[in-house]
Structure 1
Amino acid sequence: MVVTIVVAGVIGLIVTGDDHRVTISMGSPTPTATPVPFASDTEVDGTPEETARLYLSDWTARDYESMRQFVEEPPADYVAQHQAFDEATLNAPVKFVYSAVNRTGEETAELPFTAERKLVGYDMTWKTSSVLHLAVRDLVWKVLWTPATMLPDLQPGGQLNRVSLPVPAAQLVTRQDMTFPQANDAEPYLADLSARLPRPATGVSIGWALEVANPGQQPRRILEHADHPGPDRVRTTFDYFTQAAAARALDAVTQPAAVVVVQPSTGDILAVADRLGGHGAFERKFAPGSTFKTVTAAALIQAGMALDAPVGCPSAYTIPNGRTISNYQGADHGTVTFREAYALSCNTTFAQLAVERLNKDTLQAAAKTFGINATLPVGVCGTMVPPDGNDALAEDSFGQGTVEATPLCMALMAAAVKDGTWRTPRLMADAPAAQSVPLAPGVADGLRAMMTQVTLDGTAAGAGLPADTSGKTGTAEDWQGGQDHAWFVGFRGDLAFSVFVEHGGTGHDTAVPIAARFLSAL
């Protein structure tokens, strides 16, 4: 017989003759810690692959109670969250696509997967990708679940909602059926036009959308289905590329400014880049300066003035029994042709010709032909008080008397010169056809030749304008003080424009370079 004796942790054996083994403990043994089993040295129940497969299989069958058993510490509303997700996704059947489980550690793993939901009745398959995170807990592979397991966009406390899509408001588009460029400088005008469109019906849905609503965040739309193709697209007369070029031409300008572009053959407004504030390009009137010499020239041509007739361009001209008119910076060009006087922007020439060859009625009639004092369907044009004497007539002749005009008005004037007919402006493609006023025979031809002379060797020459551009500069004094206003109006092809810079200085130095940038960008 063998006897084992343990004394204070020391084991002794006593061997007897009997074939028995006896253990005797003497004293208290030294306590030892019981080792904690790990997955690495203790057999774990199952594998991550098996847990992932069973979890996704139950998910496919919508057996959420069974799924709970695979989740480590599932929230109390675990089943309810899945049911709400199903309801939001129209209870669409789900199919999971995945490959191999990635072992990220001895006791961690993950399975990337794609969920494909066939939205019955909508001919849509919605695919989302997520990751099933797994880890060993109490010797069992468990799913570490968060709302992101259902959808990566979901955060704790978030939910997926299905919302109805109301009938959208009509959308304004350009003549090319394109949405407007960003930072287009026509926003006030588009807002006004949008406000006049018919309002969409209320209480009517054209479809639905899925939105992720996380705590403290605005709902974010991730999927939508509309039976209607989208908002009604209402065409304006704006040209996308012309509008973009006009807006970008003003980017380097620090003073309030505007560019208005009109199609001469139709009266359609192609672009409005307005940095005058509000609707300044259409509503604020300014002295047009020498650009108004175009109107005076029209009256003179109609009265029989030949383009090559010699005229004087002295530095100053004194009106009989009246005031003295001076050229800009006292320029004296001597004797020139009428065409050259226009190109050189001789104030003295036009003042003298107006006093000697025109009267208040003839100049007023010419101004009316170009929309001055007329009522427009869009915006306003300009105003002119009938001259009450030669002083006023002379001042009006070069745009420094009572005459005032908007940038829109001066663009319409340039368009009339190009086409031979003045037209009322349009902003909407479906608006009634523009009203038209033809210029007198020979007037448009003469004005086109004179405006071409300006860009060839006049006040707009050498300023970077593209070839075939015709125009007229203007530098208008501000009677209320401040620096002069800068103008340039012109045309090129079937496009007419006005550039205005409030207190911008001279037309040559400020307005013409803007026009050059605008035209070069087209």
Structure 2
Amino acid sequence: MNVPIRRLTFFCMVLFGALLLNANYLQGLQAEDLREHRHNQRQTARQFDAARGAIIVGNEQIAYSEPTEDEDAAYAYQRHYDNSEEYAHITGFYSLYNATGIEGEQNSMLNGSDSRLAVSNFMDTLTGEESQGASVELTLNPEAQETAFDALRSTGKNGAAVALDPNTGAVLASASVPSYDANPLADHDPSKVEETYQELEEAEDKPLLNRAFNQRYPPGSTFKVVTAAAALEDGETPDSTQPAPETYQLPAGGTMPNHGGINGPCNGGDPDPLRHSIEISCNTSMAHWAVDLGEEKMAAQAEAFGFDSGEFDIPLTVSESSYPRGLNGSQLAQTGIGQFDVSATPLQMAMIAGGIANGGDVMRPYLVEKVESSDFTQLESANPEVFSEAVSSSTADGLTEMMVQVTEGDEASGTQGAIPGMQVAGKTGTAETGQGSTHNWFISFAPANDPQVAVAVVLENGNSSGGELAAPVAKPIMEAVIEQ
């Protein structure tokens, strides 16, 4: 055999050996991962022939599988979503192509493949019963969720609202507008699914985006409670003052005027007490506070509330909120009023309100209350835990006192967030976008003396004030929880 033939033979043997190794690797070591992968269309198609578990809110199924009525249907079960637009950003959808939201994050439970369902599946095999996936019960309060969604839509603006139980971290409501109907995405016709998804993905107003968890906004004046927290933690009191001129000459150049209906200096020319600056939402005094405290203390306080903590799961992925670093004096002043490069998700701002309501401890948010197999065996249950110790209890008390004045003080900026017969702690926000428009915010908790709910609302390009546009959305959400 001549040299070229030997070389060719050797090369072919190497290729054949590599093929055998790859086949064994895929079929042996990677088989289960590939089989269970959410983008494996064969796996997805197979599961349309099985009874997928339900997603439950308030003892009602909002996502469930029903047997198809047509004998000629491609698959045995059809996935349905009730009140889909209201819940779509939470449930997500289960399609021939992929799974999103809770459908994706809890897929192994819902489809019955999780190892914790092995005994149940084995018993079903012995008895001849059809195996079913586990049900996933969410923490959402149905009245609060409906109220949040309807109130947001009534404004005619894009935006989001989040409500938390400040004592546990349970997500009581999470609404994002605009939304979408998940039902067409669970259709058995691949062409219809693809067409619907492409339309949603290419839509200018981004209906697939979960604004509550994954859109970051400048928080504007709602961030002033973080600045105030940093001041109190540094040994100041609600009566401590800062200059509050009509226009602040920024340390590194430029000026900052007062906004929010404030004409002239915030306190008639005198230094403004911290409590009064929060009540009327004074820009110039809060900018002075940020500069006096310095970048390190401001950043540390923001991080204590959850900023710059990276993404985290609840189990849906929540985008990171951030406080900038390497600031000059003018930039630092702007961060004191929630501008420059400060960015926050609505969930993060609800966590700030919730942390103050909970005596300074921010609880880790969570969406899943429990998971049960078809025979009602409990497989998972919520275990509330502290996310961060943001401030001392005395600082939380001071912040609560100041935030109550935002809704009921003589010069209150958030009166439309007040609830008759109880004290509401709140903070308004009007955030400059850099594009000639403003986002409008309101964060709050109630009752102030025994908090049951903490809320954050943001409306995009509202071009109003947080007190005028966002507070009226937060108020009925709080009422929906408290009146249960």
Specify if TM > 0.5. yes
More contact order relative to length (CA 8 Å, sep ≥ 6): 2
Structure 2 match to 1:252: 154
Structure 1 window deviating more from structure 2 (289-298 vs 179-188): it is 179-188
Structure 2 match to 1:216: none
Change (3 A) 1:293 1:167: same
In structure 1, give the amino acid aligned to 2:324.
V
Q: Could you tell me which of 275, 278, 282 is aligned with 2:213?
A: 282
Structure 2 match to 1:102: none
In structure 2, give the amino acid aligned to 1:443.
T
Does 2:346 correspond to 1:407?
yes
In structure 1, give the amino acid aligned to 2:425.
S
Q: CA deviation at 1:435?
A: 4.1
Structure 1 match to 2:257: 326
SS at match of 1:250: helix
Does 2:301 correspond to 1:366?
yes
Per-residue displacement from partner, 1:323-342 (whole Å, max 9, x unpaired)?
Answer: 22111055332234210111
Gaps of 5+ in 1: 1-164, 208-225
Does 2:316 correspond to 1:377?
no
Does 2:429 correspond to 1:474?
yes
SS at match of 2:107: coil
Q: Could you tell me which of 340, 355, 368 is aligned with 1:428?
A: 368
Change (3 A) 1:445 1:249: same
In structure 1, give the amino acid aligned to 2:307.
I
Root-mean-square deviation over aligned CA pairs = 2.8
In structure 2, give the amino acid aligned to 1:172.
I
Change (3 A) 1:393 1:321: closer
In structure 1, give the amino acid aligned to 2:429.
G
Gaps of 5+ in 2: 1-47, 63-81, 93-100, 114-120, 179-206, 370-380
Does 2:282 correspond to 1:346?
yes
Per-residue displacement from partner, 1:365-405 (whole Å, max 9, x unpaired)?
Answer: 00001111112224124112114221111000000111100
Per-residue displacement from partner, 1:112-156 (whole Å, max 9, x unpaired)?
Answer: xxxxxxxxxxxxxxxxxxxxxxxxxxxxxxxxxxxxxxxxxxxxx
Counterpart mapping for 1:22-41 below 5 A: none
Does 2:444 correspond to 1:504?
no
Q: CA deviation at 1:167?
A: 4.5
Counterpart mapping for 1:36-435 below 5 A: 167-174=50-57, 176-180=58-62, 182-183=83-84, 185-191=86-92, 192-195=101-104, 196-198=106-108, 200=111, 232-275=134-177, 277=207, 278-328=209-259, 329=261, 331=263, 332-334=265-267, 335=270, 336-356=272-292, 358-375=293-310, 376-378=312-314, 379-419=318-358, 420-429=360-369, 430=381, 433-435=384-386
SS at match of 1:405: coil
Identical residues among aligned pairs (%): 28
Structure 1 window deviating more from structure 2 (325-334 vs 270-279): it is 325-334
Structure 1 window deviating more from structure 2 (244-253 vs 406-415): it is 244-253
Give aligned pairs, total: 337
Say which structure is richer in strand: 1
| Distance across 2 between alignment mates of 1:390 and 1:201 | 56
Change (3 A) 1:206 1:184: farther
Change (3 A) 1:423 1:201: closer
Structure 2 match to 1:131: none
Per-residue displacement from partner, 1:385-434 (whole Å, max 9, x unpaired)?
Answer: 11422111100000011110011111111111100201221111235543
Structure 1 match to 2:440: 486
Per-residue displacement from partner, 1:84-133 (whole Å, max 9, x unpaired)?
Answer: xxxxxxxxxxxxxxxxxxxxxxxxxxxxxxxxxxxxxxxxxxxxxxxxxx
| Distance across 1 between alignment mates of 2:242 and 2:427 | 19
| Distance across 1 between alignment mates of 2:52 and 2:427 | 42
